[in-house]
Every structure is written in C-alpha cells, then in structure tokens.
C-alpha cells in the first residue's frame, strides 16, 4: 500500500516503513511525530482512490528523523577583462521522515 502525499507544496510517494527526504520542517526536532492529511492518492495494488484534491479521511503518520544538508551547489559569476570574480554557494537543508502508518 502506498500514498501520494503533499508536503510543503511538493508531492512524495509514501509507503509504510519508507524514509522520505522532504524540505526542512521548521519547528520539528528529531523524534517528533508528524501527521500529513493532504493525501492526493492511495493505492493498495488492486484499488486506487484519487482525491479531488485530497482523499477524505486519509492520513500519513510519521516520525521526524535527523535533518541533513545536500552537497554544495556552486555558482560562479565572472566578467571578462574587468577583474570581477564571485563564488556563491548553497546547501539545501532537508528533514528525513520515516513513514510509520497510512490510516483512514
């Protein structure tokens, strides 16, 4: 059984026991439980329910794991013959969420 769930404006496939890397959940620490009721679709292999926009009464329950950072993305600015060089870096932060249960 799996569900497509919307978390912070993005869609993720959630299966029981899976680990999802989502954008940073502000205010949540490792070990906190989370509940997402924005389930877009649910399927058990034979039956599929699609919401309009969400499936009524369905929830995805999970536990927040550690927060991680992605590898650095570098952006270089350069103007020829002007002596202008600039390097900008960004590391996106993510929260790992372990899906415990998909309930109705």
Residue 21 lies in a domain: yes
Q: Which domain does 54 fall in, by range?
A: 2-67+94-103
For 66-101, what is each residue's pLDDT tens digit? 999 999 999 999 999 999 999 999 999 999 999 999
For 7-45, what is each residue's pLDDT tens digit? 999 999 999 999 999 999 999 999 999 999 999 999 998
Taking the C-alpha atoms of residue 4 and residue 26, their distance in angstroms, rounded to an integer, is 22
The token duo for 90 is 């960004």
Taking the C-alpha atoms of residue 75 and residue 73, their distance in angstroms, rounded to an integer, is 7
State the DSSP code for 30. T
Taking the C-alpha atoms of residue 76 and residue 13, their distance in angstroms, rounded to an integer, is 35
Residue 84 lies in a domain: no
Residue 77 lies in a domain: no
Residue 16 lies in a domain: yes
**Number of structural domains the chain divides into:** 1
21 Cβ contact partners less than 8 Å away, ≥ 6 residues apart: 68, 94, 95, 96, 97
């Amino acid at each position: 059984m799996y569900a497509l769930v919307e978390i912070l404006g993005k869609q993720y496939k959630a299966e029981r026991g899976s680990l999802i890397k989502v954008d940073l959940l502000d205010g949540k620490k490792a070990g906190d439980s989370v509940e997402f009721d924005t389930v877009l679709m649910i399927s058990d292999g034979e039956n599929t329910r699609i919401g309009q926009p969400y499936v009524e009464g369905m929830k995805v329950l999970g536990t927040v794991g550690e927060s991680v950072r992605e590898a650095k993305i570098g952006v270089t600015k350069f103007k020829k013959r002007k002596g202008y060089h600039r390097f900008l870096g960004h590391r996106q932060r993510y929260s790992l969420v372990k899906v415990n249960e998909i309930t109705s």
